[in-house]
Amino acid sequence: MMPACTCSQQDRKQRWVATMNGPRAPLKTSNGCTPLTAVEYLISSESISLFPSPSAGDVTMNIDMPNISTAEVTVFNALGESVIAKHTVAANSNVKLNMNGKPEGIYFVKISTQDGAVTKKIVINK
């Protein structure tokens, strides 16, 4: 068991001020909590739609990202296992995902670009 601190409030204040003016001084001028402003285009969840959902197996993915030319698509099952990988697809197109041989359940479609990634959910119900 640690002994209780017997420092006065003034002692604690002096230690805190010394810490903030010494080894922690860069925290006072850090921009670590400032939002990013250099990114012009972030991949938006609204840029990608999957239909129909639920589906019996054939799923169409509409990718509408005018500032991006290609994307990588990976489909994961509920356990996180990759079940389909389309490494490069056109970013302004309809992509067919053949889920006919997959068991019923929830799947996650991850669309990745150089600007980020979005994950969408699809339900297979036969």
Q: How many helices (H) and strands (E) does the chain have?
A: 1, 7
pLDDT of residue 32: 65
Write out pLDDT tens, residues 98-123: 999 999 999 999 988 888 888 999 99
- What pLDDT was estimated at residue 73? 92
CA distance 65 to 89: 12
d(CA 72, CA 111): 6
Helix H, strand E, coil C: the string for 68-94 is CCEEEEEEEECCCCEEEEEEEEECEEE
Cβ contact 111:120 at 8 Å: yes
User: What parts of the chain have a pLDDT lower than 70?
Assistant: 1-5, 31-43
Place of tokens 């990202």: 65
* Entry pTM: 0.64
Question: Domain limits of the chain?
Answer: 45-124
CATH class of the domain at 45-124: mainly beta
